[in-house]
Amino acid sequence: MSYKFHPTVLREYDIRGIIGETLGPDDARAIGRSFATLLREAGGKTVAVGYDGRVSSPMLEHALIEGLTASGCDVVRVGMGATPMLYFAEASLKQVDGGIQITGSHNPANYNGFKMVFQGRPFFGQDIQKIGLLAAEGAWLDGTGEVSSHEILEDYIDSLLAGLDGIDPAKLAAIRVGWDAGNGAAGPALEALVARLPGEHFCLYTEVDGNFPNHHPDPTVEANLEDLRSLVAEKNLDFGIAFDGDGDRIGAIDGEGRIIWGDQLLMIYAEDLLGRLPGSTVIADVKASRALFDRVAELGGKPLMWNTGHSLIKSKMKETHAPLAGEMSGHVFFADTYYGFDDALYAAIRLIAASARLGKSVTELRGAMPNLLNTPEMRFQVDESRKFAAVEEVKARLTGSDAPAGIEVNATDGVRVTNSDGWWLLRASNTQDVLVARAESESEAGLERLMHQIDEQLAASGLQRGPQAGH
């Protein structure tokens, strides 16, 4: 039996679509059959399955499990929870060989999708394309799998709290934190966590509601942090933490309400970690500030700039044995005393730990950072057939014999150009028909010149910056 997915659904890092339009139960069943076939061919047998708080998630879970068992895999249901809880189940349950989380992450309420782990490694890119090929050929194995359930929450909370081991309890007892779960899937785990945390904690929107009635659960958008800002100001808290819809991305503000962006959080984590593991490699994506790479080097670490994309970063961490990595988007990965997957609840624990171990408030740590001017991530529509080609053209112009003097070009992921004014980046999104641009400088005039250079390069490829595209 052959099955075809909507062409927009099988993406670079995950599978995602609009319920009732591009994604439904038949897709979930086919995904289950393909994933189970690949896992059994690789010698695996058992899959952990979890789901987020979206209205459509239970329906997709039911169909996914039908597909997995019909191709001979056993399923361990871990129920509704954050994506990192599924990752934790896959990493910690001895009998489990793979994991699938049903989640729409931070997308609008009518979206949903699947994030996957395969025998302890990220499942992305060509792996996801194989799901489609197997389905199109109907080349599925047959079998009869069994289904069981496992309550993972308590073990998961224990593993989070281990991030505070060895820290003076008096320092932890003094910390006061605000939290915003955004009605996402991390809410119940957050409530269980703060009930056991020392210090004072104030929570917003921990009730799971797939319609997201208070604000959209994307902590990288400043408007979504307003309620948390108000809470921190009103209660005079040390800092605030926010989560995305499935709990794998962190957002943070300090005691003065200033945002601590993903690369700035990494600067704090690196200072804490490099004090204990000197000389370690710290990975950040190409969108991260120069200040981060400089700070890691200054602290005696080895900064490594890598491709954007949580699956790509996780793979690079395994390859380089880096104990810490992160992205501007708020995915942070710890592999020193944790599992190396992106877990926003654990990242929050490590922020509390860093502040206590370094003997500085989060506000002090944020205040000590260089005051650089940077643009937000600018995303603009470009035809799918042109996006990668345009970036290649820019790269060719800037590295060829006629390249301008005084620039340094890093082509790790797109084109990142550094000159006396700072740096700018142009890269093609792996998941949408957009180009992504960003720039950073020490001055307004410098930032303006960098933006002008981006516009010049786009014009030379017959493109212009605009209109802006959303996520």
Show which residues are catalytic.
105
Question: What residue spans of 93-152 are helical by DSSP H?
Answer: 126-137
Nearest-angstrom CA–CA distance, 124 and 175: 39
Q: Which residues of 208-227 are buried (b: 16+ CB within 10 A; e: fewer)?
A: bbbebebbbbbbbeeebbeb
Contact yes or no for 16/26 (Cβ under 8 A): no
Of 262, 298, 296, 263, the C-alpha closest to 281 is 296
Task: Decide: helix, strand or coil at residue 156.
Answer: helix
Q: The dihedral of CA 124, 129, 135, 138: what is its sign?
A: negative
Of 103, 110, 118, the C-alpha closest to 51 is 103
Long-range contacts of 169-174 (CB under 8 A, 24+ apart): 169/198, 171/356, 171/359, 172/197, 172/198, 172/199, 172/352, 172/356, 173/198, 173/199, 174/199
Which residue reads 């409530």 in tokens?
A: 191
Which helix (H) or strand (E) segment holds residue 75: the answer is: strand 74-80
Residue 467, preceding peptide bond in cis (omega within 30° of 0): yes
Contact yes or no for 209/219 (Cβ under 8 A): no
Query: Which two structure tokens, joined as six digits, stand for 152?
Result: 């993972």
> What does DSSP say about strands 281-285 and 259-260: parallel, antiparallel, or unpaired?
unpaired
Q: What phi and psi values does residue 304 have, to the nearest 5 degrees?
A: -130, 120
From the number of C-beta atoms within 10 Å of its C-beta (0-12, 13-18, 19+), residue 415 rates as: buried
Q: The dihedral of CA 403, 407, 409, 415: what is its sign?
A: negative
Which residue reads 């797109």 in tokens?
A: 414
Q: What phi and psi values does residue 430 have, to the nearest 5 degrees?
A: -80, -10
User: How many Cβ atoms sit within 10 Å of the Cβ of residue 94?
Assistant: 5
